[in-house]
Amino acid sequence: MTALKGEIFDVAVDIRKNSPTYGKWVSEILSGDTHNLLYVPEGFAHGFCVISDDADVLYKVSNEYSQEHERSIIWNDPKLDIHWPIKKPIISNKDNKLSLLENLDNDFVYRSTS
């Protein structure tokens, strides 16, 4: 992920079952001025909010989009406690109906490399 213009608050959440960091998240402010990037590997949920007047975002994915495989978590899941830097978010009806991480049906499983 990168912001080509403007700024975004970008978040990645580990959703791999049995992972020692399951449910933990990292965030980064991505800016068109700094051209910094955030890599979000498979097994991590991803979300962002625009924190400038507008933003253009570029991202690369490992597969074509498939609605059948889409899994989503509600942005304000209290157990995740993501510190979103906005006071009055504009959220779509679809995103307001998403589930909590604990109810997410996903096939991502942590596999130790040791």
Domain count, the chain: 1
Q: Beta-carbon neighbour count of residue 48 at 10 Å?
A: 22
pLDDT at 7: 98
User: Domain containing 18 — which CATH number?
Assistant: 2.60.120.10
Q: Measured between alpha carbons, how far is residue 97 from residues 24, 51, 74 in Å?
A: 22, 23, 7
pLDDT at 113: 82
Summarised one tens digit per residue, pLDDT across range 14-34 is: 999 999 999 999 999 999 999
Q: Quick one: pLDDT band at residue 83, thresholds 50, 70, 90?
A: very high
Tokens of 114: 């040791």
Summarised one tens digit per residue, pLDDT across range 38-53 is: 999 999 999 999 999 9
Task: Provide the mean pLDDT of the chain.
Answer: 94
Residue 111 lies in a domain: no
Residue 77 lies in a domain: yes
Distance CA 51, CA 8 (A): 5
pLDDT at 112: 85
